[in-house]
A and B are shown apart, each in its own frame.
Chain A
Amino acid sequence: MIRAFVCVARRDLALALRRKSDVANTLVFFVIVTSLFPLGVGPERSLLHAMAPGILWVAALLASMLSLARIFEPDFADGTLEQLALGVEPLSVLVIGKIGAHWLLTGLPLTLISPILALQFDLQPLAILALCGGLLAGTAALSLIGAVGAALTLGLRGGGVLAALLVLPLYIPVLIFGAGAVGAVESGLGAQPHLLLLGAFFLTSLASAPWATATAIRIALD
């Protein structure tokens, strides 16, 4: 079971590394969106400082969503998805492998680049730490929830937009607690409760999303 899981995750990582532009696009999108706000809102320091957690989190959320179509759509189109469904191991295990690869290619790079963008908004070191911790668990939850939306809209015309509409409302708790963690540190309170809630949210989605995704894939193949 581990073998098939690792095999799928490695395959997706290898494929992504052969198309580096896809990975880079997500990151560039994240950087550009966060950099647009100072241009639009004006360079007032206190205003940007107050808005920073929200801006960074909304941008991360959109960047993660932008890449959802890449999880299953190519596999669906070339028939490898039906081969996964006919594999010996449970489809939900293989799905976790694919979602894990998606997170390594979007969530993790976003988390790693976020401190640099946080500096642009003059966040304190502790707040940056809360941002990174939150993004680490939060983006994993985003990938898991997003995968359900991506699987539900497989093979539909305009599926990308529909997936976004399905998934965005479910992203709200992650956004609230993620941005809340940074805000809490900024206002002198600890970020721990927020981060624990994000962790709980990640674990809940880890327990339910792969199963829901696998079911949605079977329906899409039917």
Chain B
Amino acid sequence: MLEAVSLGCVRGERRLFSNTGFSVAKGQLLRITGANGSGKTSLLRILCGLLTPSDGKVLWNTRPIGEQREDYHRALTYVGHLNGLKDDMTPHENLAVASTLAGCPAGRSARRDALAGFGLAHCADLPVRHLSQGQRRRVALARLALQNPSGIWILDEPFTALDAEAVANLSRIIAAHAAAGGIVIFTTHMEVTIAAANIVLVNLGQQADRA
């Protein structure tokens, strides 16, 4: 269970949000909404442990994430604004590095399946430099298929640059992950329908107004 306890965030001189709290249990989806600049990305980075909140804390299984970095990172997969891909390497190589860093090295066949799942079978051995934005996004998202099946996925605008078919595919994957007992936290501006029982909504704009 992932809990955010009265989180606040100040960037520069501006208070983005304050007193934001929620908890996500296994099998739940959390969708963070809010206008541009309301602090969605900052909130996701705080949940990852990349950003230090100006107040409040994030608990994973009732302990602060800073005290159990290794365990938490083993459970966590973060796909941010930046794809985190090396332009000079192929999708295969990028996935090999990413899976090793995440603590669960994937073999070639597992990587091939992950890439095929995102419709990248034909360009798995081209340098990422030659791929389109949407294809790069898919390579970044293919990491999801390689990691901890009951882990936490934190996805920042995962649907951007994807075509309609890929959006539907990703929605299915997200729903399946939640159904298998995982946690998915994501932001999106697109209206996507995810067939999952348990979606929690957090609206940062309203939180800020209330504060």
Using CB atoms and an 8 Å cutoff, list the residues of chain A in contact with chain B. Answer: 3-4, 7-8, 11, 14-15, 18-19, 77-80, 82-90, 94, 221-222
Contacts and interface: CB of A to CB of B under 8 A. Distances in A.
B35 interface: no
Contacts of A11: 86, 89, 93, 97
Nearest to A19: B88
A77 B83 CA distance: 10
B103 interface: yes
B50 A85 contact: yes
B100 interface: yes
Contacts of B70: 88-90
Interface string B67-103: 0001001101010111111111100010011101111
Interface SS, B side: loop
Contacts, number: 75
Q: Which of A14, A18, A86, A90 has the most CB atoms of chain B within a 10 A radius of its CB?
A: A86
Contacts of B81: 79
Contact of B98 (A3, A78, A83, A90): A83
Given A3-B105, A15-B89, A78 B82 contact: yes
B100 A78 contact: no
A94 B73 CA distance: 15
A85 B80 CA distance: 13
Which are the 4 A-B pairs with shortest beta-carbon distances?
A: A79-B82, A88-B103, A79-B84, A87-B101
A79 B83 contact: yes
A215 to B, nearest CB: 13
Interface of B: 48-52, 70, 73-74, 76, 78, 80-89, 93, 96-98, 100-103, 105
Nearest to B76: A86
B88 A15 contact: yes
A82 B87 contact: no
A198 to B, nearest CB: 33
Nearest to A91: B69
Contacts of B52: 222
Contact of A78 (B84, B102, B105): B84
B84 A83 contact: yes
A37 to B, nearest CB: 36
A87 B87 CA distance: 20
A15 to B, nearest CB: 5
B100 A3 contact: yes
A19 B87 CA distance: 11
Contacts of B100: 3-4, 7
Nearest to B87: A78
Nearest to A6: B100
A82 B84 contact: yes
B73 A87 contact: yes
Contact of B50 (A8, A90, A221): A221
A83 B86 contact: no
B119 to A, nearest CB: 22
Given A15-B89, A19-B88, A88-B70, A82 B101 contact: no
